[in-house]
Amino acid sequence: MANKEKQAREREPRIVWVEETNSTNSLAREWMEKEPMPEGSAIVADFQTAGRGQVGNTWESEAGKNLLFSVVLYPVTLAANRQFLISQIAALSVKETLDLYTTDITVKWPNDIYWKDRKICGMLIENDLSGAYLSDSIIGIGLNLNQATFLSDAPNPVSLFRILHREVNREEVLRRFLTIFYAHYISLLREEYDEIRACYRSVLYRGEGFYRYQDAGGMFEARVRDIEPTGHLLLESRDGSVRRYAFKEVAFR
């Protein structure tokens, strides 16, 4: 590890709150290229002018209402083929944070957070590799907290405000998240991979029972058989046949 990164791993995490930026993930990357931030640091924005979602989508959020942040890690002992563990601990940490406020929170594979059948949080995780290992990871999280109405064409958004009918303190939610997240990250550094995978499996949206799915071949009914360490989803049809999917190759219907 370069000396600069080593120093960054040894310093206390910081929380930097900015009023406006294009995207906290992009800002984190920009800052890291100049001077690596201490591991576990978070960059939070009140507003993003070009918030980025998965697969090139945009992420819209009303100014000052939600939590838009990116956490910086240097998981240098994590093999590239196990990088899905970062998604898993991030998703688990958001779920466990929201469990402090409400019920019915689940993780929709791979890393959307749902309340009942609605999306309350999305993540954009950007990992950098060095050979067969990770060098850094930027975990971007958009968590809908106090927004009352959603105007964009996101399919089924919800916020904690819509669930609780009261506002929550954004900084309190962030601090609770970080405490939970650091505990999961320590478990990852201890290579407790099976425990993390089992925990993730147990909180999956529609994790038990048969549901309708759609892939390139059409509609079918299946149940979740497993999530592979690589993050692939294994679905088992009623006839017992198993299909394997990468992200976006299959959709819930």
**Site residues for ligand BTN per CB under 6 A:** 23-25, 48, 51-54, 57, 59, 68-70, 112, 122-124, 140-142
Q: Minimum distance between the CB of residue 46 and ligand BTN, rounded to whole angstroms?
A: 12
> What is the rounded CA–CA span in Å between residue 8 and residue 132?
21
25 or 41: CB nearest ligand BTN: 25
Q: Minimum distance between the CB of residue 41 and ligand BTN, rounded to whole angstroms?
A: 14
Q: Minimum distance between the CB of residue 43 and ligand BTN, rounded to whole angstroms?
A: 9
170 or 222: CB nearest ligand BTN: 170
128 or 221: CB nearest ligand BTN: 128
Q: Minimum distance between the CB of residue 6 and ligand BTN, rounded to whole angstroms?
A: 26
* Residue nearest ligand BTN, Cβ-based: 122
Q: Minimum distance between the CB of residue 164 and ligand BTN, rounded to whole angstroms?
A: 21
74 or 114: CB nearest ligand BTN: 114
23 or 41: CB nearest ligand BTN: 23
